[in-house]
Chains A and B, each alone.
Chain A
């Protein structure tokens, strides 16, 4: 055998979701990433989130740019829509797709290279518009696909595999997101799925732009001593500060909680996010506090994770731009294209 595939096995007595699908129905093609890559772990967690939310695969859209991280959209939800755009252009393609049909579940997958260098402008504007999607940024501090050059997320003092030291300050996608208007901002770690899974579920159910910056080590080019994005470093400085659970509308009565311990945030779909503070006095609905906390943790080089900020009240792109509610493919052609005469009339109004 020269390579291998993960077989699809439908076992008897396997657990199913509300749609009667099994977990493996949410898998995709076999990953071609390096064995041990953090991205694969994120992929598996995304697949599980869609499974647990009982989202029909054909009602989901995966969008990505270029990079090892961006390749992973092929490795889950084999029966969904998807597009690999050119490098850094995923946010605009996603924005266009959502404008055309905002009733699907959108998940963008990108890397620190794809989002923070060539794609930075697009990334920022999608957040600013509060486009209704979940954007998962798999952050390994390098351009993995092109063999490990420092990305814009590399920390000062972090070393490359052959010893070169990075002197440029990093762009922190989380601080950036907070400053430009994203309404769901979180950080996770590929090594802690108990935290990441509910974050992804909550992010998918949040209305507006959700960013999850996931520390996701590159085992081949950035997992050495001296790297601040290695497994060992991430496990060591990892601080799960706020845990968020997504509770769907149907389960709200069952999942009782003691007041005071948990902060509930109501979502548009009728479900809610329950925040468990693992640290005293932190309120993720307070943007200034979130920014302060980030700067504080930056000094101690700890990696603060969890749902750092949420604002469920802000309008998303669709509402702000007062866009058509029906997906374009469901509008009768005559209505969609009222003809040249109508266009002329419209143009008159702008003269």
Chain B
């Protein structure tokens, strides 16, 4: 086979499972090492470079990094990456003077940003320090987007949100609150140099079953006591809604449903049931959100498909469900479904949490921005430009509802595009990622990282007592890690960015590395045509999708090759420690990702500015 090209910056990047899985490619192990050293502010700033909102994300990130974490392939539980991010935020000093400053002079380019969610804020974060005049238009009275209106304060305290948004506003970004953009054509008339649409996916799905519109409130408005989840959460956040009935049914079992059921409990509901159409394996909510809801005694009922609303004298009294049965095959797919009966469940209120759609009633066809029939805009996946030059989409507005960290990553990419657009450059001419390899050896048995394997189990976040939790809507449930928890959890990280680097010409073929490797991921074998044949020589090889097999150059004595399964390597450095000729070495891979501010690198060098 062809020897692996480790110079391809993606090779080592992919080995760092968490960083690779993170949409914004946060350098997780690097910041965990800073936390281990007590350098919380540095850890915070390193996070901020890629994910912009460490305090927010350290609490409510969707954390795609955690299911990807290597530790989860060795044992059951991944490193508590998200919790450690919060540690950096909780324990940082005042970092305001390390933030990019508002430049003394602007560059005269005016950028309009629609919606004050994480996407727009990230674009502004990247562009304002470069001199762009950024104006954010937000129809609500507070900034933050869904982070403010929908993510409840018991998960994300208001002060954490405001502080991190404040950092960006401090860079000279203008925020126009209570300012709804109602016509794209009119906005375009105003002659902005670029427009960013970060208005989210604001339309909660409805459920038009019999009886849906037959209830009436005191003023005779139809549909009383049946709420659209995201609208209801917004109205709770802005204190328009302060109470709910005793018995509440939540329809749907995604993350919105989890926030709805827990919020209901805080508004006085005594008996909350989350109604799921399918079995547990099909739930959309993250495992930890389900866990937290169940801890609060929310009942989750599976295999109930909503059929109709039940009313008495124009008042909602319950809902009828069809009880379902599913046949599931070995791969976990549903192969058939069957209705086994019907049941009525009593309730005072129903909250619908079954999804969100895009909606752009304010974008006219004349604007030249193409939307498909579901109102999803046609957007370039790399540049985020719409079909109209100079108009960009990002966050939930671009490809439908995702999460905060995706909105942030979109924001970074949009900022690069806007920067190029304003300079009249090709949007696609973006700087590729690079990788730097730094030595880590300090001496015999001494590496610049804590290489020894620690078998501690994942630390569990402590929660506020159940009795105290419901006293107020904004009692934050998670208390943060204690010193002991921090000290243990940082050691669980395997430092996957400290890479095993092999130099074939130095190898003596003595087997020392192969024997010392505690997970048996190395082997020397005659070269073969295909990967499966090479893998056969590994005693403990499982093929995991996306995990590479490293293949060295031919070895000097026998012409065999050294192979390494990247799947289970612990990055313990024992192979390098044990190698008599230092053919194996441990090097830190630094993935260099270039944001908007670095895109002019070639210009700087050329122009000597």
Contact = CB atoms under 8 A, between A and B. Distances in A.
Interface in A11-28: 11-15, 23-24
Contacts of B594: none
A44 B514 contact: yes
Given A4-B574, A9-B570, A217 B510 contact: yes
Contacts of B509: 191, 231, 235
A186 to B, nearest CB: 19
Contact of B515 (A15, A41, A235): A41
Interface in A209-229: 217, 219, 223
15 contacts: A6-B516, A7-B455, A11-B73, A14-B540, A35-B578, A36-B508, A36-B510, A36-B512, A37-B510, A37-B512, A40-B512, A40-B515, A191-B509, A191-B510, A231-B510
Contacts of B76: 12
Interface string B191-214: 000000000000000000000000
B90 interface: no
Given A40-B512, A41-B511, A193-B511, A11 B557 contact: no
B574 A11 contact: no
Nearest to A3: B445
A38 interface: yes
A190 B510 CA distance: 8
A9 B508 contact: no
Nearest to B72: A12
Contacts of B75: 11-12
Interface string B439-458: 00000011000001101000
A9 B557 CA distance: 32
A333 interface: no
A4 B516 CA distance: 11
A36 B519 contact: no
Interface string B107-145: 000000000000000000000000000000000000000
Scoring A2, A9, A12, A231 by chain B CB atoms within 10 A of each residue's CB, the highest score goes to A9
Contacts of A219: 508, 510, 580
A35 B75 CA distance: 29
B512 A35 contact: yes
A34 interface: yes
Interface residues of B, number: 34
A36 B518 contact: no
B511 A191 contact: yes
Interface string B554-592: 000110000000001010101001111100000000000
A11 B74 contact: yes
B27 to A, nearest CB: 25
Contacts of A4: 445, 452, 574, 577
Interface in B502-542: 508-512, 514-516, 518-520, 539-540, 542
A9 B515 contact: no
A23 B557 contact: no
Interface in A38-60: 38, 40-41, 43-44, 48
Contact of A235 (B453, B557, B570): B557
Interface string A166-193: 0000000000000000000000001101
A235 B512 contact: no
Nearest to A230: B508
A13 B515 contact: no
A36 B542 contact: no
Interface of A: 1-4, 6-9, 11-15, 23-24, 31, 34-38, 40-41, 43-44, 48, 190-191, 193, 217, 219, 223, 231-232, 235-236
Nearest to A48: B539
Contacts of A191: 509-511, 558
A217 B542 CA distance: 32
B519 A11 contact: yes
A26 to B, nearest CB: 12
B455 A43 contact: no
Given A14-B540, A35-B579, A219-B508, A1 B518 contact: no
A15 B540 contact: yes
B539 A15 contact: yes
Given A9-B74, A23-B539, A231-B557, A40 B579 contact: no
B598 to A, nearest CB: 38
Contacts of B540: 11, 14-15, 23
Given A2-B445, A6-B518, 13 more contacts: A1-B446, A4-B577, A7-B570, A12-B76, A24-B518, A31-B515, A36-B578, A36-B580, A40-B515, A41-B510, A190-B510, A219-B508, A231-B510
A13 B520 CA distance: 13
Contact of A6 (B73, B511, B574): B574
Interface in B412-446: 445-446
Nearest to B580: A36
A223 B512 CA distance: 15
B515 A44 contact: yes
Nearest to B577: A4
Contacts of A193: 511
A278 to B, nearest CB: 15
A38 B445 contact: no
A201 B111 CA distance: 74
A190 B453 contact: no
A13 B519 CA distance: 12
A35 B580 contact: yes
B511 A11 contact: no
Nearest to A47: B515
Contacts of B558: 191, 235
A217 B509 CA distance: 11
Nearest to A219: B580
Contacts of B512: 35-37, 40-41
Contacts of B511: 38, 40-41, 44, 190-191, 193
Contacts of A3: 445
B557 A232 contact: yes
Nearest to A38: B510
Nearest to A216: B510
Contacts of B580: 34-36, 219
Contacts of B539: 15, 23, 48
Nearest to B75: A12
A41 to B, nearest CB: 4
Contact of B452 (A1, A38, A231): A1
A41 B455 CA distance: 26
Contacts of A12: 73-76
Nearest to B450: A1
A325 to B, nearest CB: 37
Contacts of A190: 510-511
Nearest to B516: A6
A169 B446 CA distance: 45
Contacts of A37: 510, 512
A4 B446 CA distance: 10
Q: Which 7 A-B pairs have the closest CB atoms?
A: A36-B580, A41-B511, A44-B515, A7-B453, A36-B510, A235-B557, A35-B580
B316 to A, nearest CB: 48
A2 B568 CA distance: 26
Interface string B469-503: 00000000000000000000000000000000000
Contacts of B519: 9, 11
A41 B512 CA distance: 7
A202 B11 CA distance: 42
A290 to B, nearest CB: 26
A121 B76 CA distance: 55
B526 to A, nearest CB: 9
A194 to B, nearest CB: 8
Contacts of A7: 452-453, 455, 518, 570, 572
Contacts of A232: 557
A12 B572 CA distance: 18
Contact of A8 (B446, B518, B520, B542): B518
Nearest to A43: B515
Nearest to A24: B518
A7 B520 CA distance: 12
Contact of A11 (B445, B516, B568): B568
Contact of A1 (B445, B453, B557): B445
